[in-house]
Amino acid sequence: MILIFPLKALKENTTIYSNGDNYSQVKDQLQSDTTNIEKWFLSYNLNFNVNKSGCMLISSLQRLRLTPDLDVTMYGSLLPKLT
């Protein structure tokens, strides 16, 4: 199971990949990574547009059917889900 998180900030495209043995492990790692990015932006007084970013879960169709929605937040806002 892999989560892809494209970031479009400062005219650069950045992608965070997270993988693991199960959904919870991957989601927790991705949320931790996004929290660290949020802290970095805040420490340098930079703005981040959550609406220009999103999350995508890549897995087999069978596993996706059994997986809950991907809810990752930044600045208290839920990131859009990409398809």
DSSP state of 9: E
Tokens 């059994």, residue located = 66
Render pLDDT for 28-50 as a digit per residue (tens, 0 to 9).
Answer: 999 999 999 899 889 988 887 88
Say what the pTM is: 0.75
- C-alpha 53: how far from chain center: 8
Instruction: Determine which of 4-8, 33-37, 57-61 has the lowest per-residue pLDDT on average.
Output: 4-8
pLDDT value at 2 more than 50: no
Domain spans in the chain, listed from the N-terminal domain onward: 2-78
pLDDT value at 3 more than 50: no
Which of 28, 36, 43, 44 is closest to 7 using CA atoms? 36
**What residues have CB less than 8 Å from 5, skipping those under 6 apart?**
15, 16, 17, 18, 30, 33, 34, 53, 54, 55, 56, 72, 79
